[in-house]
Amino acid sequence: MSSVREPIDATQTAAWSALQVHADRLKSSEFSLARCFDEQPERASELSFDVGNLHIDLSKNLMTSKTVTLLADLARAVGLEERRDAMFAGEHINTTEDRAVLHTALRRPVSDAGTLMVDGQDVVADVHEVLHRMYEFARAVREGAWTGVSGKRIEHVLSIGIGGSDLGPVMVYEALKPYADAGIDCTFVSNIDPNDMAEKTKHLDPETTLVIVVSKTFTTLETLVNARTAKRWLLDSLYERGVLADTPEARAEAVAKHFVAVSTALDLVANFGIDPNNAFGFWNWVGGRYSVDSAVGLSLILALGPERFEEFLEGFREIDEYFVATPLEHNVVALMGLLNVWYTSFFGFTTHAVLPYNQYLHRFPAYLQQLTMESNGKHVRWDGTPVTSATGEIFWGEPGTNGQHAFYQLIHQGTQVIPADFIAFVNTPNPTCDGEQDVHELFLGNFLAQTKALAFGKSAEEVQKEGTPEWMVQARVFAGNRPTTSILGVDLTPHAIGALIALYEHITFVEGSVWGIDSYDQWGVELGKQMAKDITPAFSDDDALATQDASTRALIEFYRAHRR
Ligand code: F6P
Domain coordinates in residue numbering, the chain: 10-91+326-515, 108-306, 526-562
Q: Are strands 259-263 and 209-214 parallel, antiparallel or unpaired?
A: parallel
Same fold, 10-91+326-515 and 108-306: yes
* Nearest CA owner, ligand 1 atom 2: 525
* Nearest CA owner, ligand 1 atom 1: 525
Q: What is the mean pLDDT of residues 424-451?
A: 97
pLDDT of residue 73: 98
Per-residue pLDDT of 397-419, as tens digits, reads: 999 999 999 999 999 999 999 99
CA dist 225 and 160 (Å) reads: 10
Q: Which of 166, 170, 213, 216 has most ligand 1 atoms within 8 Å of CB, for mutation?
A: 216
Q: How far is CA 15 from CA 18, 58, 72, 77, 167, in A?
A: 5, 21, 9, 7, 37
CA dist 137 and 353 (Å) reads: 39
What is the residue type of 412?
A: H
User: For residue 55, which phi and psi values (nearest 5 degrees)?
Assistant: -110, 120
3-state helix, strand, coil in the chain (%, to 5): 55, 10, 30
Q: What average pLDDT does the chain have? A: 96
* Nearest CA owner, ligand 1 atom 10: 163
Q: Give 10-91+326-515's CATH code, choosing from 3.40.50.10490, 3.90.950.20, 3.40.50.300, 3.40.50.2300.
A: 3.40.50.10490
Alpha carbon of 215 to ligand 1 centroid (Å): 7
pLDDT band at residue 1 under the 50/70/90 scheme? very low
In the 8-state DSSP scheme, what is residue 203?
T
Per-residue pLDDT of 32-52, as tens digits, reads: 999 999 999 999 999 999 998
CA dist 161 and 222 (Å) reads: 8
Alpha carbon of 370 to ligand 1 centroid (Å): 10
pLDDT band at residue 5 under the 50/70/90 scheme? low
* Nearest CA owner, ligand 1 atom 9: 163
Per-residue pLDDT of 502-516, as tens digits, reads: 999 999 999 999 999
* Ligand 1 atom nearest 220 alpha carbon: 16
Alpha carbon of 301 to ligand 1 centroid (Å): 21
Q: Which residues contact 306 (CB under 8 A, 6 or more apart)?
A: 134, 135, 138, 139
CA dist 163 and 172 (Å) reads: 14
Alpha carbon of 510 to ligand 1 centroid (Å): 22
Rg of the chain taking only CA atoms, in angstroms: 26
Give the DSSP letter string of 258-306.
HEEEEES-HHHHHHHT--GGGEEE--TTS-GGG-TTTGGGHHHHHHH-H
Instruction: For residue 176, give the nearest of 353, 307, 21 by alpha carbon.
Output: 307
pLDDT of residue 30: 82
CA dist 28 and 20 (Å) reads: 12
* Ligand 1 atom nearest 525 alpha carbon: 1
CA dist 107 and 127 (Å) reads: 8
Per-residue pLDDT of 110-159, as tens digits, reads: 999 999 999 899 999 999 999 999 999 999 999 999 999 999 999 999 99
User: What's the gap between Cα 275 and its chain centre?
Assistant: 30
Residues catalogued as catalytic: 374, 405, 529
pLDDT at 533 over 80: yes
Pocket of ligand 1 (CB under 6 A): 162-165, 215-217, 220, 223, 288-289, 374, 522, 525
* Ligand 1 atom nearest 522 alpha carbon: 6
* Bridge partners of residue 117, in order along the sequence: 122
Alpha carbon of 224 to ligand 1 centroid (Å): 12
pLDDT of residue 554: 98
Per-residue pLDDT of 359-410, as tens digits, reads: 999 999 999 999 999 999 999 999 999 999 999 999 999 999 999 999 999 9
Q: How many CA atoms lie within 13 A of 25 on its CB side?
A: 10
| Residues counted in the chain | 564
Alpha carbon of 166 to ligand 1 centroid (Å): 9
Beginning with the edge strand found earlier in the chain, give each strand of the sheet holding 209-214 in spatial order: 185-189, 156-160, 209-214, 259-263, 279-281
* Ligand 1 atom nearest 223 alpha carbon: 16
Omega before 229 cis (within 30°)?
no
pLDDT at 539 over 50: yes
In the 8-state DSSP scheme, what is residue 380?
B
Q: Which of 162, 192, 284 has most ligand 1 atoms within 8 Å of CB, for mutation?
A: 162
pLDDT of residue 2: 39
pLDDT band at residue 3 under the 50/70/90 scheme? very low
CA dist 511 and 523 (Å) reads: 19
* Nearest CA owner, ligand 1 atom 16: 215
* Ligand 1 atom nearest 214 alpha carbon: 14
pLDDT of residue 119: 87
Residue 184 near residue 156, CB atoms below 8 Å: yes
Q: Which of 282, 291, 522, 523 has most ligand 1 atoms within 8 Å of CB, for mutation?
A: 522
Alpha carbon of 283 to ligand 1 centroid (Å): 14
Residue 202 near residue 218, CB atoms below 8 Å: no
Per-residue pLDDT of 253-288, as tens digits, reads: 999 999 999 999 999 999 999 998 999 999 999 999
* Bridge partners of residue 425, in order along the sequence: 489
* Bridge partners of residue 478, in order along the sequence: 458
SS3 for 405-473, per residue?
A: HCCHHHHHHCCCCCCEEEEEECCCCCCCEECCEEHHHHHHHHHHHHHHHHHHCECHHHHHHCCCCHHHH
CA dist 228 and 296 (Å) reads: 19
Dihedral class, residue 467 (left if φ above 0, else alpha if ψ from -120 to 50, else beta): left
pLDDT at 523 over 70: yes
Q: Which of 103, 165, 369 has most ligand 1 atoms within 8 Å of CB, for mutation?
A: 165
The count of other CB atoms within 10 Å of the CB of residue 414 is 12
Residue 124 near residue 108, CB atoms below 8 Å: yes
Q: What is the mean pLDDT of residues 207-230?
A: 97
CATH placement of domain 108-306: 3.40.50.10490
CA dist 116 and 284 (Å) reads: 16
